Amino acid sequence: MFFRKTARRIKNEQVTGNLLTDFTALMNFLGMSADDLNVSGANSLKEIVVYICIKILAETISKLPLKIYQDNGGIKKATNHYLYPLLKLRPNPYMSASDFWKCVEVNRNLYGNSYVWLDFVSKGRNAGKIQGFYPLNPLQMQIWCDDVGLLSSKNSIWYIYNDNMGAPHKLQSSDLLHFKGLTGNGIVGFSPIEMLKNSIENAKAAEKFLNNSYKNGMQSKGIVQYVGDLNLEAKKTFRDEFEEMSSGLDNVNRISLLPIGYQFQPISLTMTDAQFLENTKLTEQQLSAAFGVKLHQLNELVKSSYSSTSEANREFYTDTMLAILTGYEQELTYKIFLTSELQKGFYVKFNADVILRADAKTRYASYALAIQNGVKTPNECRELEEDPPMDGGDQLLLNGNMVPATMAGQQYLKGGGKK
């Protein structure tokens, strides 16, 4: 069955069990550490560009206030809804709202799927209400599509979660929130790390190359020529002693001595020859573009100005964050509210003004235009600045020189006739 195969494949792509054992054995055979180029899952955060991109996305989500609104004869904040403090302050006893959304967004970017269990009250007068939101480990989740009606109704989506003790738990779609990354079937998200594996490995290899070069004092490799024969033990002893004498930061720019009969011939491949800087910059650009992060956010400020950076911030919202926020808002609204509440117009929305917030001069000019044209009341603008409301500030104001279009020109008429 199509979706069932998809669920199994997603699980097998994660580096666990025999796959990790085989990978470790291969790296050991090559004389490398298994962690050197293993970029699966959380290991990808060891690559600086990936870490920065995911950090920016996670912190952007975490600093946006999530609020409940009701659209019923006019939009207003539903501060009296019982879920309001959970979403705004503390989704569960262990996490603040900021830490909670960081965790959710990091999992979504690492594994392509992020899961949050909805803890419903089971007894008492509050039965059926949500009392907590708990992130789940994506590595311990399987997704099944019952396309033959084996468990319940046909085409139902089921989630099997194995807890830390190994016990499986069958969850319905309504029992959890499922936030996806890029998806090809609408059921399971692609793992960005798996999709970008080659690029991340290139960046990691470049980082390791540069790190080892510094550790070796930028020593170039070479060949030591010797007239005569050496046994294996003598070769090993000479190589070890020569590397100890000539490599490392303590030996940078120092003179190396060779015994009579030995000649050192360097084999150098400079960073320019390998186009190291060009390739590194290209990889950074590819990774940042894949995550939707702008170059100025990675401190790539070449040919940038204040105006271009300000415009890039707006592009970051419209090109990257808007789609992510919409996915979060739609999943939350559909799952956490009752059908009766949805019919009454309840929904959740992130306040993206934090991203788009301009400087004080620009904000006040916008407020003036909104007030003068009757778009917002003075108190609504004061609320945006977190200032207390003032008496008489709840009335809409209009420019007294403005008249309806149907009355235009009537000032030129006398007694109902023309001049």
Is residue 274, in this structure, part of any structural domain at all? no
What is the rounded distance in angstroms from the CA atom of residue 207 to the CA atom of residue 35? 13
Residue 38 is predicted with a pLDDT of 55
What is the rounded distance in angstroms from the CA atom of residue 266 to the CA atom of residue 259? 17
Is residue 376, in this structure, part of any structural domain at all? yes
Contact 377, 393 (CB under 8 A): yes
The residue out of 134, 166, 198 marking a domain boundary is: 198
Residue 63 is predicted with a pLDDT of 92
Of 259, 186, 189, 248, the closest CA to residue 219 belongs to 248
Read off the pTM: 0.69
Residue 406 is predicted with a pLDDT of 74
Strand partners, 70: 76, 346
SS3 279: helix
Residue 197 is predicted with a pLDDT of 75
Strands 221-226 and 130-136: unpaired
One-letter identity of residue 282? L
What is the rounded distance in angstroms from the CA atom of residue 235 to the CA atom of residue 222? 15
Torsion of CA 131, 181, 350, 139, to 10 degrees: 30
Is residue 290, in this structure, part of any structural domain at all? no
Residue 51 domain boundaries:
2-198
Residue 7 is predicted with a pLDDT of 38
What is the rounded distance in angstroms from the CA atom of residue 118 to the CA atom of residue 178? 11
Residue 223 is predicted with a pLDDT of 61
Is residue 241, in this structure, part of any structural domain at all? no
Domain count along the chain: 2
One-letter identity of residue 143? I
The residue out of 155, 172, 198 marking a domain boundary is: 198
Is residue 77, in this structure, part of any structural domain at all? yes
Residue 417 is predicted with a pLDDT of 52
What is the rounded distance in angstroms from the CA atom of residue 325 to the CA atom of residue 316? 12
Q: How far is CA 182 from CA 50, 75, 113, 196, 276, in A?
A: 17, 31, 9, 13, 31
Question: H or E segment at 340?
Answer: helix 339-343
Is residue 112, in this structure, part of any structural domain at all? yes
DSSP state at residue 414: B
HSE-up of 59 (CA within 13 Å, CB side)? 8
Is residue 330, in this structure, part of any structural domain at all? no
Residues 6+ apart with CB under 8 A from 66: 87, 88, 97, 101, 332, 348, 349, 350, 351
Instruction: For the chain, give the mean pLDDT.
Output: 76
Structure token digits, residue 48 = 């600086």
Low-confidence ranges of the chain (pLDDT < 70): 1-46, 147-155, 198-230, 235, 238, 240-282, 301-310, 357-359, 402-403, 405, 408, 411, 414-419
DSSP state at residue 116: E
SS3 357: coil
Of 272, 317, 310, the closest CA to residue 292 belongs to 317
DSSP state at residue 137: -
Structure token digits, residue 174 = 């309504």
The residue out of 150, 169, 198 marking a domain boundary is: 198
Residue 15 is predicted with a pLDDT of 36
